[in-house]
Amino acid sequence: MSKVTLFSGESIPLEMHKPRMVQKVNLLPVEERLNTIREAGFNTFLLRSRDVYLDMLTDSGTNAMSENQYAAMMQADDSYAGSETFYRLEKVLQDIFGMKHFLPAHQGRACEHIIARVLVAPGSTALTNFHFTTTKAHISIAGGALEELVSAEGLEITSSLPFKGDIDLDMLTEAIKRLGKDKISFVRLEAGTNLIGGQPISMENIREVSRICRAEGITLVMDASLLADNLYFIKTRDPEFRDTGIIEITREIGRLSDIIYFSGRKLGAARGGGILVNDDKMFTDMRELVPLYEGFLTYGGMSAREMEAMAVGLLETLDIDVISQTPLFVEALCNELQSKGIPVVTPPGGLGCHVDAKQFCPDIPQAQYPAAALSAAFYIAGGFRGMERGTASEQRNDDGTEHFAQMELVRLAMPKRVFSLSQVKYTADRVAWLHKNRGLIGGLVFAEEPKVLRFFFGRLAPIGDWPEKLMKKFREDFGESL
């Protein structure tokens, strides 16, 4: 396992790779950071990458690719139809998951669009452990509704439960009885749960959900975008699988699922995505939509080079030294922050370290978007950008009132094989400084608010002059230091 204990007794993650190509990054002075975030409407999505020191927004498309992935790109077959590249990728996916059919798409949300078009009827309801923003939007556009059935402990910030992403089985049974199986479009499991701290789901939970769905004739859909981290947690946190190979775990998940879809930007560390399905009719129904919305059946909107890289990246997902990198670095950052009294989601999950904005900024009401404000403050204080995962990421209710998120989190993502331990420690130090001065942070209001997915390109404005006060305090404490 890529974690070691030093002679001093400190436990640290050990990088199981060496950098052979580097990319220059910039750390702007604090005054420029303030001007830059103001120009971006206090929305970290609208920052230009050249102005960001550590890009912790997401791991989507930002994971480092391996030398073998780059080498594979050189053998790409760019044929419009019948590309050998497609068949190589298809075989890798069939071998890993043991499922029959594969449909390519340009990314994960394109898969969600196709699945929703085929399975969601107006007035139907999808049941899930927890929603993801684009999943919910596609179901809503198709005329359906979404119910979240995550276990109660999944919404607790501090916990020792190893699998906080599990669906509540009693709630699932009750929902099926209340709604009627014919009114349920599908049951969706997200492995693991993006919006509540990257928390994994257990194999026991997958088995039970699969058993219930098959007994009722309900389709079970698995979002495997974050599966690499979830595989690591199943292997290391569940005694049943400590001596089980990663490929056996993935095949068990494939056996239990009716549909698996994924974002290749996450799972395969290359841009693209895909849907795996066993049922012939369901495959045929979905196949008709791929040429219409994505591209021909043997590329689905992806470049052949990305498909070659994805095939290798998926195979590398079976290597414990590869899939351990994000969870161990997330754990390292969470431990650093906890040691400094910073409230974070525990146990550390996948994808990134999640800071609890409600506890960090207790004086900012949810109507003033505390997670978005904290995310902007992180950038001012340290030049790194995280992602708001709170009320600003929700959609307003039909009557225009605010839909308050159950958790107000700022995610500091840890793309695979990207950051060094010194950068992790720098991040923790600047977050700790900000926590000491958290009384300076104020709220935000929307200045430009799109109706759908407003967190992507909406613009906000600060309430008062708190960003200027924060910048001045930083300069007082750090002098000419960045």
Could you list the active site residues?
Answer: 80, 132-133, 223, 266, 389, 455
Q: Report the distance separating Cα 256 and Cα 214, nearest Å.
A: 9
Cross-strand bridge partners of residue 273: 105, 263
Which among 56, 35, 70 is positioned nearest to 412, based on CA atoms? Answer: 56
- Residue 449, Ramachandran bin (φ over 0: left; ψ between -120 and 50: alpha; else beta): beta
Residue 54, H or E segment: strand 54-55
Token pair 């009320």 in the structure block, residue: 391
Where does residue 278 rank: exposed (0-12), middle (13-18), buried (19+ CB within 10 A)?
middle
Distance separating alpha carbons of residues 328 and 99, to the nearest angstrom: 30
Residue type, 6: L
192 cis-preceded (ω within 30 degrees of 0): yes
Determine the Cα–Cα distance for residues 430 and 380; give it in Å rounded to an integer.
Answer: 10
How many residues are present in the chain? 482
**Contact between 414 and 463 (Cβ < 8 Å):** no
Residue 314, both tokens: 């998926």
What is the DSSP track for 135-197?
A: HHHHHHHTT-EEEE-B-GGGG-SS---S-TT-B-HHHHHHHHHHH-GGGEEEEEEESSBGGGT
CB 446 within 8 A of CB 454: yes
Name the one residue in this structure whose structure tokens are 């902007």.
Answer: 376
- Residues 377 and 98: their CA atoms lie apart, in Å, by 46
Treating both helix axes as pointing N-terminal to C-terminal, what angle do 227-237 and 246-256 enclose, rounded to 10 degrees?
Answer: 110
Angle between helices 203-216 and 246-256 (to 10 degrees): 20
Taking the C-alpha atoms of residue 66 and residue 338, their distance in angstroms, rounded to an integer, is 32
How are beta strands 259-263 and 220-223 bridged, if at all? parallel
What angle, 0 to 180 degrees and rounded to 10, lies between the N-to-C axes of helices 30-39 and 370-382? 140
Give the whole-angstrom CA distance, residue 447 versus residue 459: 5
3-state secondary structure of 468: helix
DSSP count for the chain of H helices, then E strands: 20, 16
